[in-house]
């Protein structure tokens, strides 16, 4: 089955800790995205990557970092600099720019 | 930057009533996409509109793209409990920046 896999489904972060959210896709899509969704709110773009070894900041990149070493993988690190990390994080991918995005099931991050 | 406004934020309807959500962009869009997110789920692509004045139908759902390509609407006829969720529009400018700009979504609540 082709799709996007996000893990873990739930994640808890301690104060001052960095955590990494995994996103893997086997759709052979070129572009991948990370969004943050707060309760009852829309999606805000954190980072995106159109090709391997290249990525751009979205609207709310501060406190986050990414890497794109492989086409299939686009992990997101929530650093200790992100003071309000509690949210639902969604990873998405697409083939080329005017095509729809396919989303993973998301990771819910909370602070301990 | 580009902004996509979506109204209403919440809509309560009785089952069987119609529902409409509206989307307006501050800039001209190359296309607009609509997604549905069920409670606790991830956004799922519904449809894409590309042409000025375009109208597309999916069973009880009717999607329109304005003549100026700056606004769009989704209309559901005779809502059913399975229609519950949040409906997002997402606009693509077609310029140098990648990624879609999502509206904040309309939460559809259906009372049986």
The size of chain A, in residues, is 112
Q: CB B105 to CB A42 under 8 A?
A: yes
**Do residues A6 and A79 make contact, with C-beta atoms less than 8 angstroms apart?**
no
Q: Tokens 């140098």 correspond to what residue? A: B96
Record: contact B88-A43, CB cut-off 8 A? yes
Beta-carbon contacts of A72 under 8 Å, excluding residues fewer than 6 positions away, are A24, A25, A26
How would you write the pLDDT of chain A (112 residues) with one tens digit per residue?
A: 569 999 999 999 888 899 999 999 999 999 999 999 998 788 999 999 999 999 999 989 999 999 999 999 999 999 998 989 999 999 999 987 778 999 999 999 998 8
Query: Is the CB of A32 inside 8 Å of chain B's CB atoms?
Result: no
B8 secondary structure, DSSP code:
-
Confidence check: pLDDT of B30 > 60: yes
Average pLDDT over residues B25-36: 94
Whether the predicted pLDDT of B96 surpasses 60: no
The rounded distance, in Å, linking the Cα atoms of B48 and A63 is: 33
Interface test with B, best of A5, A29, A43 (most B CBs within 10 A): A43
Longest Cα–Cα distance in chain A: 40
On whether the CB atoms of residues A2 and A102 are closer than 8 A, the answer is no
Q: How many CA atoms lie within 13 A of A80 on its CB side?
A: 5
With contacts defined as CB-CB under 8 Å, which chain A residues touch B94?
A: 97-98
Return the beta strands (E) in chain A as ranges: 4-7, 10-13, 19-25, 31-37, 43-51, 54-57, 64-66, 76-78, 87-94, 102-103, 107-111
Residue B102 to chain A, least CA–CA distance (Å): 6
Task: Report, as an integer, the average pLDDT of B46-50.
Answer: 96
């Amino acid at each position: 089955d082709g799709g996007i896999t996000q893990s873990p489904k739930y994640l808890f972060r301690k104060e001052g800790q960095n955590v990494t959210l995994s996103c893997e896709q086997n759709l052979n899509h070129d572009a991948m995205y990370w969004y943050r969704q707060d309760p009852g709110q829309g999606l805000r773009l954190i980072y995106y990557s159109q090709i391997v070894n290249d990525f751009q900041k979205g609207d709310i990149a501060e406190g986050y970092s990414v890497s794109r070493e492989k086409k299939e993988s686009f992990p997101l690190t929530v650093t200790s600099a992100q003071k309000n990390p509690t949210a639902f994080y969604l990873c998405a991918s697409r083939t080329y720019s005017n095509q729809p995005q396919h989303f993973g099931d998301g990771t819910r991050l909370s602070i301990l | 930057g580009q902004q996509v406004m979506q109204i209403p934020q919440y809509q309560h309807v009785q089952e069987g009533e119609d529902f409409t959500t509206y989307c307006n962009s501050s800039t001209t869009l190359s296309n607009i996409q609509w997604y549905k997110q069920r409670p606790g789920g991830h956004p799922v692509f519904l449809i894409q509109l590309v042409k000025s004045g375009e109208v597309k139908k999916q069973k009880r759902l009717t999607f329109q793209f304005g003549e100026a390509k700056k606004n769009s609407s989704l209309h559901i006829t005779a809502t059913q409990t399975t229609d519950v969720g949040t409906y997002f529009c997402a606009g693509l400018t077609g310029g140098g920046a990648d990624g879609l700009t999502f509206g904040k979504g309309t939460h559809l609540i259906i009372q049986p």
